[in-house]
Amino acid sequence: MTNPLLSDWTTEFALPPFAQITDADFAPAFDQGLAEARAAIAAIAENPKAPDFANTIEALELAEGTLDRVSGVFYNLAGADSTPDREALQRDLAPKLSAFSSEITTNTALFARIETLWEGRDSLDLTAEQMRVLTLYRQMFVRAGAKLQGAASARLTEVKSRLAVLGTQFSQNVLGDEREWFMPIAEEDLEGLPDFVIATARAAGEERGAEGPVITLNRSLIVPFLQFSPRRELRKIAYEAWVARGANGNAHDNRGIAAETLSLRAERAALLGYASFADFKLEPEMAKTPAAVRDLLMRVWAPARIRANADAEVLEAMMQADGINGDLEPWDWRYYSEKRRKAEHDLDESLLKPYLGLEAMIGAQFDCANRLFGLEFRPLDIPLYHKDARAWEVTRNGKHIAVFIGDYFARGSKRSGAWCSAMRSQRKLGGDVRPIVVNICNFAKGDPALLSYDDARTLFHEFGHALHQMLSDVTHGFISGTSVARDFVELPSQLYEHWLEVPEVLAKHARHWKTGAPMPQDMLERLLAAGTYDQGFATVEFVASALVDLAFHEGAPPEDPMARQAEILAEIGMPRPIRMRHATPHFAHVFSGDGYSSGYYSYMWSEVMDADAFAAFEETGDVFDPATAARLETFILSAGGSQDAEALYTAFRGKMPGVEPLLKGRGLLDVA
């Protein structure tokens, strides 16, 4: 029987034939993809002809076609709809793919060809994009150890293989704890919860096979439970289970994995001649150095901590007025903050959510993309990998741009969080390849599905990433879409969130799911006025996580990461009733791979730019100004990694911004 992953895909837009693919198809497809790629790379390395850009760099770009295609399907499914077979294959693939990567970067004949091109680059008559691609290929090989020899090279290969295994296990452990834990809720304990929380808890109970409602560790359920439940003892149980993911002393415990990961990363950096892993990791980013990252974070930390401590005093007084003596605890913050928000801004999330239906907010994000970039979205009735996933064809002026897949609801088989990925990336080399872009969220499923304002921001955030992928317009897939510096990649996503805050967008799309009535003007005004509410808390929990990540990788690796985490938090004066957004044992950004290791700060680095970039629209008097949108597309969204990130931003805005727009956007500018 023909393996559908290895056949020509004759589906509309050459989408993967999901209905025909089984888990059993992946392993042999990976085997063939690896075999084809090895043969293609050997042919490049052994080519008797003198190296040129086409027979070396372009050939490398196209060498892994089958492997890229199979990986694009598998890893999207493994994150969004895990099965035991997929998890087992992930564990098996981690060392295999790491070894394959090392084979390429330690291939001396192949690197010699790249080095020959590099040394003669000024005589090659390359385009600017080709020169950028050559530069990045050489940088990738050197940073992967291509110049190492003998025992050092062999050890680096071992280290990278082990890190790949550890990252996979870390992710699966977090998912395992999230999947297995739940807290049954008695009917009388539903008192005080809004209808949408009760409905979500009942649906979660049905999914888990429980006899009644349950609270799970999915953010879309546990956060509103912590916001609204008056049962303090239940809030404590749920909160402590949430923050203990990966640290329960069971088969899913990640503390040992974190320690080994940090040790191996330090060794990797040392083998390559760097003082620390942070120095190694940050070298190609916009920040360049750990000192620059720390400077930004501490400039934000100081006012955020002052604001958070002041807020804690107010919330503790509210708690004591309820007759509860003692200190404000982390499981109390969201509950009393929600009560305070309702009192000070007259905002009740249970009354707000009916105006933020998922369908309406999808319509809002599409409408903004149409007004800014002329994109149109046509629903597709096609088989996908899960019944909850949906697809649209994206066009502009009748021309096909991309396929966009949205997978919005939480389920036990999906890892937590939200992300954007590409099953297929844009490129022109080897034909005009249009992307298949996927947005993954973990919203509570309901009839209808109603979002919190934070959920709606998440929806817009991930769609900003999707636009970066869909509007990419480069020749080389190597620099396509989001293939940019880590501290630049969040700019399009965080920038797109700003359009959710535009009054006319909410006035048009924030309509009651049942009546169709627009959000009342006074509610809309209160919602926007509360935009900086509780930013002391939000900023502290984020910056604390970023500072722990940086410190872990900046010095000697800690033998006990949990003890080191506690030391770091004490050093910076972490407010007692706030915890890190991501404690070490479930800090997937940092330990599921090294994408955000030493790089969790990048959301804030990008926020400096996104606040300034949106100001470019505001300065025109029209947040949908066509000329500014065109510049944004030209210099950022379509450009991928075709230039250095700072050069791209400067081309769009004229100069790099300071930290003041970020502080202003968080309501922290004048805090002292």
C-beta separation of 552 from 327 below 8 A: no
The partner residues of 391 in beta bridges, in order of sequence, read 380, 405
* Secondary structure letter of residue 639 according to DSSP: T
CA-to-CA distance for 389 and 114, rounded, in angstroms? 42
Per residue, the 3-state secondary structure of 82-115, as one string, reads CCHHHHHHHHHHHHHHHHHHHHHHCCHHHHHHHH
Cα separation, 468 vs 495, whole angstroms: 11
Angle 290-321/602-618 helices, nearest 10 degrees?
90
Q: What are phi and psi of 478, to 5 degrees?
A: -60, -25
DSSP codes joined into one string, 322-390: TT--S---HHHHHHHHHHHHHHHH---HHHHGGGSBHHHHHHHHHHHHHHHH--EEEEE----SSTT-E
DSSP 37: H
- Please enumerate in sequence order all residues whose Cβ is within 8 A of that of 70, keeping only pairs 6 or more positions apart, or say none: 5, 26, 29, 30, 33
Query: Rounded to whole angstroms, how far apart are CA atoms 201 and 189?
Result: 12
Q: What type of residue is 236?
A: K
19 to 5, 23, 384: CA distances (angstroms): 11, 12, 7
Tokens for 530, please give them: 């509360």
Nearest Cα neighbor of 40 from 129, 124, 130, 103 is 103
Residue type, 617: F
Determine contact, residues 508/532, Cβ cutoff 8 Å.
Answer: no
Residue among 338, 462, 490, 554 flagged as catalytic: 462
Within 8 A by CB and 6+ apart from 26, the residues are 5, 70, 74, 86, 89
Q: Are 300 and 661 in contact (CB under 8 A)?
A: no
Give the integer Cα–Cα distance in Å for 369 and 499.
10
Tokens, residue 267: 């060794």
Q: How far apart are CA 313 and CA 330, in angstroms?
A: 13
Give the 3-state secondary structure of residue 31.
helix
Residue type at 389?
A: A
Q: What are phi and psi of 657, to 5 degrees?
A: -85, 165
The Cα 78–Cα 23 span in angstroms is 10
Query: Max Cα separation, the chain?
Result: 83
* CA dist list (Å): 424 to 335, 348, 634: 43, 41, 21
Distance CA 451, CA 458 (A): 10
Residue type, 373: F
Yes or no: say if 561 and 266 are a contact pair by the CB < 8 Å rule.
Answer: no
Query: Active site includes 129?
Result: no
**Encoding tokens for residue 446?**
């309901």
Q: CB neighbours of 210 closer than 8 A, spacing ≥ 6?
A: 182, 184
Kind and range of the H or E element at 134? helix 128-143
DSSP class of residue 558? P
What is the Cα–Cα distance from 624 to 607, expressed in whole angstroms? 20
Q: Which helix (H) or strand (E) holds 391?
A: strand 390-396
Q: Rounded distance, CA 200 to CA 221, Å?
A: 7
Report whether the peptide linkage leading into residue 448 is cis, meaning its omega lies within 30 degrees of zero.
yes
Residues with a known catalytic role: 462
